[in-house]
Amino acid sequence: MIFVFYDIYKALCEQRGVSLSRAAAEIGLSNATVTKWKKTGAAPGGDTLTKVAAYFGVSVDKLLGVETPPAASLGLDDFTYALYSETQTLTEENKQKLLEMARFFRQQQEKEGR
C-alpha cells in the first residue's frame, strides 16, 4: 500500500526541521491523527488538508502527490524548465541579474545574425 500523503507530510516536516507531532500540534491536530495517516494511508478531508497546506506553504495538490510543476504544464522545453527550477530560490536581485544576462546574450546573438 502506498502512503503518499503521510510520506509527503513526513518529508515536509523534515524539510522544516520539526517533528511530526510538533507540526501536528502547531496545526491543531492530534498525534492520533498522524498515526492514522501512517497506518491507513488515508489523507485528511477538506478543512484539515487546507490547514496542513497552509502550515507548510504548499498546495493541496502537492500534499496529495498530484501536483504538476507549473512550467511542465506550460509545455516548456527541458532547458527552460531546468532554468525555472534552478531560479526559484534566488533573491530578487540575483533574478534581475540573470534576466539582464539573458537579455545581453540575446542581443549578442541578434548582432551575430543567429
Q: Which domain holds residue 10?
A: 4-63
Same domain, 34 and 58: yes
- pLDDT digits 0-9 by tens, 9-18: 999 999 999 9
Same domain, 34 and 75: no
Same domain, 52 and 84: no
Same domain, 28 and 9: yes
- pLDDT digits 0-9 by tens, 72-90: 555 556 677 677 767 777 7
Q: What's the whole-number average pLDDT of the chain?
A: 83
Measured at the CA of 93, the angle between CA 89 and CA 98, to 5 degrees, comes to: 80
Same domain, 49 and 95: no
Same domain, 42 and 79: no
Count of structural domains, the chain: 2
Q: Nearest 10 degrees: CA dihedral of 56, 61, 63, 64?
A: 170
Entry pTM: 0.57
Same domain, 58 and 41: yes
Task: Answer for the pair 87, 79: CB distance below 8 angstroms, yes or no.
Answer: no
Same domain, 12 and 57: yes
- Report the CATH number that the domain containing residue 29 is assigned in CATH: 1.10.260.40
